[in-house]
Amino acid sequence: MPHTNHDLPLPVAELNAVNKVFVTGGGHELKVLENIDLAVRPGELLALLGQSGSGKSTILRCLTGLVEPSSGRVLRNGKPLDGVNPDASIVFQTFALYPWLTVEQNVAVGLMSRTMDRAEKQAAVDRAIEMIGLGNYHAAYPRELSGGMRQRFCMARALVSQPKMLCLDEAFSALDVLTAENLRQELISLWRSPSSGLSSIFMVTHNIEEAVEMANRIVVLFPRPGRIGLVLENNLPYPRDSRDPEFQRLVSIIHETITTLNLPDLPPETAIAGQPISRGRSRMESIPLVPVGQILGLLSMMHDTPELTNIYDISDEIGKEFGETISIVKAAEILDFIETPKQEVRFTELGKKFVSADRKGRHAIFSEQVYKLRLFHIIIALLKEYEEVEEAKIIKDIASALPYDNPEKTFQTMIAWGRYAGLMDFNPKTRMVFVPEEVDASEEARLV
Ligand code: ADP
Ligand code: MG
């Protein structure tokens, strides 16, 4: 008998060469997904990892039929998907329960589209609530429950229709550490127990350890535009121990892939005779959309607690999501205040000088560093020629220089940095950018 593709089980849901372009509020096109091929196979627990803003939720929405790709195909069981995928249920990050319904009624909402009689519905609801371990709470209202319990009911609601594919979008990230860990473990045991009927899980997360703990296949999404980067099989036996060296090895492979991608790794540059080469000066490079205050916060935290050098520990300390921490670190790095060998974050000489300088000294150093970033010369060059420049003109230039970035947000961040540096200011009434007057001491307080 000839072998055909029919011997392989068809993916539950699949994206083929999917591209997605959004049009931003300002009318610019933002390419969010580029040529995505991704299949959720029967029986697998697939994790999609990526920093925030890389396009994970958009992929989940395309796979489940909530969003239509700009081009490419979405398949369900090998056939083109039409509308919302009836095989999928989604659990979101926030606990989206209707406050006016009891939790039992909320779970029943998951069956609304099904044709079942009352008794069948009731049995399915009871079963889902039992499965998720909340048998005593049928009649409670969401407000009476903790965040962890509410998220459990969201899972019950997603499971009640016995979906072929359960989709989780950062479903654990709003829970406290212990609750999240419990719920992850329970979900893994449900998925592993044949009687649960739960087959494929597609989870989106920015948490590397969570992906390594749960998934048997991990796909890392590269940002701007979202592209499939690394794909890893994870055959570690369950239950997984995060202290296991193999577990840690996977975490660091993924971690390194993500950070080397996010932190600027710059191409070789042509040396200018007699001048030291500094990084990232000659090519147009985007800037992380991070307020100045967060950069200063990171630097003073590093100054106050020099023992904190690991990027994970720093992330915990400042209480930000890992992806956000990376952005702050990247911002400080392109300003040459810190360097990031491997998972370490260290001050440069300039960074040390900056944190120990007084306010005036800091502005001066910051100004010099901002001046070195090519992107800012879009504005600086215009301000040399004109007293003031329209916001719209600058945004247009940013959009053509950095086609994968959001030009409005980049503009706002540039103004914030440029203002702290004393290089530029913006009048929101006239929508004009201008060169500020010499800053006197009394005004300076306003800038910080
Ligand atoms: P993630 O889930 O990885 O954080 P998203 O898929 O939510 O990323 O978003 C990816 C990018 O697409 C972001 O820059 C976001 O601002 C943009 N985006 C998402 N949805 C829309 C939309 N409806 N309109 C315009 N831009 C969007
Ligand atoms: Mg998201």
CA distance 415 to 421: 10
Identify whether the C-beta of residue 304 lies closer than 8 Å to the C-beta of residue 265.
no
Query: What is residue 284's predicted lDDT score, i.e. its pLDDT?
Result: 67
CA distance 47 to 205: 7
Reported as type and span, the H/E element at residue 416 is helix 407-420
Ligand 1 pocket, residue 97 CB under 6 Å: no
User: Judging by DSSP bridges, how do beta strands 217-222 and 227-233 pair with one another?
Assistant: antiparallel
Tell whether omega for the bond before 225 is within 30 degrees of 0, i.e. cis.
Answer: yes
Query: What is residue 11's predicted lDDT score, i.e. its pLDDT?
Result: 94
User: Does the pLDDT of residue 5 top 80, yes or no?
Assistant: no
**Ligand closest to CA 94:** 2
Say whether pTM exceeds 0.95: no
Identify whether the C-beta of residue 73 lies closer than 8 Å to the C-beta of residue 65.
no
Alpha carbon of 45 to ligand 2 centroid (Å): 18
Q: Report the nearest atom of ligand 1 relative to the CA of 55.
A: 6
User: Which of 18, 31, 32 should be mutated for ligand 1, with most atoms under 8 A from CB?
Assistant: 32
Q: Report the nearest atom of ligand 1 relative to the CA of 25.
A: 25
Ligand 1 pocket, residue 205 CB under 6 Å: no
pLDDT per residue over 321-379, tens digit each? 777 888 899 899 999 999 887 668 899 999 999 999 999 999 999 999 998 888 898 89
pLDDT per residue over 139-193, tens digit each? 888 888 888 888 888 888 888 888 899 999 998 888 788 888 888 998 999 899 8
Query: What is residue 72's predicted lDDT score, i.e. its pLDDT?
Result: 97
Alpha carbon of 36 to ligand 1 centroid (Å): 15
Q: Report the nearest atom of ligand 1 relative to the CA of 226.
A: 10
Ligand 1 pocket, residue 410 CB under 6 Å: no
